[in-house]
Structure 1
Amino acid sequence: MNQIQVNKGRIKWVDAAKGMAILLVVYGHALEGTHANIQFNNLAYEYQHGLIYSFHMPLFFLLSGYFINSWLHRPAGVAIKQKVVSLLVPYVVWSILQGALMVVMHSKSTVNHGWKTLLLIPIEPLDQFWFIYAMFFGLMIIYFLWRWTHRVIPAILISLIVILLTSNNQVWQFQNIAIATFYLGAGYYFKNNIGQMFLTNRWWFRGALILFIMFFSIAFFYMSELLVNPLFKIVLAFLGSYVIMEMAQVIQPYWLVFLGRNSLEIYVSHWIFLAGSRTILIHFGILNAGVLVGVTTVIGVLLPIVLYEVLKKLTLSRLFFGR
């Protein structure tokens, strides 16, 4: 497989992997929304949904952890401000926009939220925004533990313990934050200790792909209790993430790398375009599941980028997206 390519401070394969990950996120949400509206084949839905959700968010955390080394060395004020701007600003803005739209369009939405939901945004993330919320606090935990110990292992071990303790009892956002901390720390450790031993290795890739499909399929069809086992979920997440990371070593078309570089903008705003386009299509009698999922996925990926470019030209992108 090809060597790592760096362009203007970015690693090309990481952007390609983020591109694959954001496509899976949007496709997964398009799948959920379509299934909620028209109830298509349950087995096909559940298998795809389970497969995607077994690793796509851990993958994002792992890839984000890949780049935190220089950030960890910054003064606390600078480090915190950077993440407030890049994460909390889009979290608050898009949570309010999406939440308000959900309230107004509650009869058309697949979820039901009231105005109280908006007031709880500081302590209770709305739907997919749990990821941004957990990312911020996970980074803060790693930052201060690393500044104290100069090691990332304590953050990984503590977060793993919290994941195991909260696997059957979700208290506030502790488990989500622990998940973020664990995979962010693992991404950092992977890059700085063992990354190149495994990346660009065809045999590791083939083995991981076979194990991932085999483990998930056995659990899905025969041992469903494994799918809620926290340790099994971690194994699946690492296998699935590694498969994508290896694929990204050789699959690097410009459009995929571009999606990866704009993955945050797509993530925070795609739901609005997904829900809106799906509502319009169903209104005009388009009820084919494949068409609905395919069209809304494309719209959910492209329109956030168009919006970002427009806001950037209007010098408003920093207000909405933190950059």
Structure 2
Amino acid sequence: MNRVSWIDNLRGMSILAVIFLHCMIAVNQQAGHFTAFKELVNQLLAPVRMGLMCFVSGLFVASGLRHGQARYLRNKVSSILYPFAVWALIYGGLKWTFSAMANHPQSPLAIALGHLSGGDITWFLHSLFLFFVLIIPVRRLPAALVLTLCVAGAVLLPPVPPDSLFASFDNLHLNKSLVLFAFFYSADWLVRQDIDIAAFAQRRTPLLLSLIAFMLLAAFSLWGGLRQHSPWLLPLALPSIPLFVALACRINLRAVNYVGRHSIVFYLSHYLAIQVCSKLLRHDGHSAWLADLHFVLAFSVALALPTALCLLRAKGWFDWLFTLKRKGQPQLAGV
């Protein structure tokens, strides 16, 4: 599958949703007049936000494997595992350096294990690399069996014990990864069925059914009492995808497309800006207007830093932060 605009748009939309979510950390959960809007948007998108990123990545499994399994795996090491290692060192090093100032200090071993087990801020690349490896044997299995196993595993797998060395900010990250693998696998399955996903998503009946599925999903997210990556939401979350594909096909915003084309830069680096803002943008909470200003500033900075890195990367600087490949080497799409 050739890379087309709707794919970059969809990825850009999901990345922006992640940055929007993380901005609440930057302002210490005080978003002023944006608070109600922020909570509504984040709750509505919670069941599909990361799933859409996994879905987009899964679209490129088939095209990658056509170049041979060895090259496919080398590409994933260069474009996913390598930047994961680099940014695990960056974020882990910063956490260790400032551990004494943190509310919950961690030992260097705990910090390292948090990243290596996929339980820290770099968790998405950790899971995504495993997805690209796991999909090779799993794609031979019936789709119904794979999706059933994803749900069953996410339900039955116990959380990481909170007193374990592998404990992190999300001790259900293994369960979450099983749910997200369902999105990843579904994308690859659709490609293997030779379905024109964009055309299908824009047909009236599938689009209407997808809208209904998302409305039901929204109702469960807002009032159902289920956590955001609950496996019980998958029967509604997966059918909701065509709605977002149709939106990505129709959106015509260069900024969104730009974020999608440079998704790995925005995903990995925006959190640095978030962390800086969380230390600098402090106030007493009495002024909602000041909280508004802080939220807008945090969101702007979280976009500005990755954009600056993209511009510098285009000039040949800092490319080593995001890929092991040198310029001029062929690179398979997918990240």
Conservation of the 8 A alpha-carbon contact between 2:15 and 2:263: yes
Q: Deviations over 1:208-265 (max 9, x none)?
A: 33542344235523x314867522x213432553322110111032221111011111
Conservation of the 8 A alpha-carbon contact between 1:14 and 1:63: yes
Shift of 1:91: 0.8
1:124 matched to which residue of 2?
A: 117
Deviation larger for 176-185 or 118-127: 118-127
Shift of 1:28: 0.6
Conservation of the 8 A alpha-carbon contact between 1:63 and 1:187: yes
| SS of residue matched to 1:10 | coil
Distance in 2, Cα, partners of 1:229 & 1:245: 22
Deviation larger for 15-24 or 88-97: 88-97
Distance in 1, Cα, partners of 2:177 & 2:246: 27
Q: What TM-score results when the alignment is normalised by the length of structure 2?
A: 0.78
Residues 1:253 and 2:253 are matched in the alignment: yes
Shift of 1:200: 1.4
Distance in 2, Cα, partners of 1:36 & 1:106: 21
Distance in 2, Cα, partners of 1:155 & 1:87: 24
- Aligned letter for 2:202? T
Deviation larger for 122-131 or 15-24: 122-131
Percent of aligned positions with the same letter in both sequences?
A: 20
Give the count of matched residue pairs: 311
Cα distance change on mapping 1:230 and 1:144 into 2, 3 Å: closer
1:241 matched to which residue of 2?
A: 241
1:200 matched to which residue of 2?
A: 202
Distance in 2, Cα, partners of 1:260 & 1:110: 34
1:276 matched to which residue of 2?
A: 276
1:69 matched to which residue of 2?
A: 62
1:3 matched to which residue of 2?
A: none
| SS of residue matched to 1:102 | helix
- Aligned letter for 1:270? H
1:178 matched to which residue of 2?
A: 178
Distance in 2, Cα, partners of 1:270 & 1:189: 32
Conservation of the 8 A alpha-carbon contact between 2:95 and 2:111: no
Residues 1:20 and 2:13 are matched in the alignment: yes
| SS of residue matched to 1:13 | helix
| SS of residue matched to 1:128 | coil
Q: Deviations over 1:73-112 (max 9, x none)?
A: 3433222211111111111111221222233345776875
Conservation of the 8 A alpha-carbon contact between 2:179 and 2:229: no
Conservation of the 8 A alpha-carbon contact between 1:265 and 1:304: yes
Q: Deviations over 1:243-300 (max 9, x none)?
A: 2211011103222111101111111111001221343333799873333332212221
Shift of 1:307: 1.6
Residues 1:165 and 2:156 are matched in the alignment: yes
More helix per residue? 1
Distance in 2, Cα, partners of 1:93 & 1:247: 34
Residue ranges of structure 1 left out of the alignment (5+ in a row):
1-5
Deviation larger for 310-319 or 34-43: 34-43
1:298 matched to which residue of 2?
A: 300
1:142 matched to which residue of 2?
A: 135
Q: After the TM superposition, which segments of 4 or more aligned residues of structure 1 sit over 6 Å from their partners?
A: 37-43, 107-111, 150-153, 283-287
Conservation of the 8 A alpha-carbon contact between 2:114 and 2:120: no
- Aligned letter for 1:14? I
Return the match for 1:60 from 53, 60, 63.
Answer: 53
Cα distance change on mapping 1:242 and 1:70 into 2, 3 Å: same
Conservation of the 8 A alpha-carbon contact between 1:13 and 1:248: yes
Distance in 2, Cα, partners of 1:250 & 1:118: 42
Deviation larger for 266-275 or 279-288: 279-288
Cα distance change on mapping 1:321 and 1:34 into 2, 3 Å: farther
Conservation of the 8 A alpha-carbon contact between 1:85 and 1:322: yes
Distance in 2, Cα, partners of 1:316 & 1:267: 15
1:50 matched to which residue of 2?
A: 43
Conservation of the 8 A alpha-carbon contact between 1:55 and 1:236: no
- Aligned letter for 1:163? A
Cα distance change on mapping 1:150 and 1:242 into 2, 3 Å: same
Shift of 1:144: 3.3
Shift of 1:181: 2.8
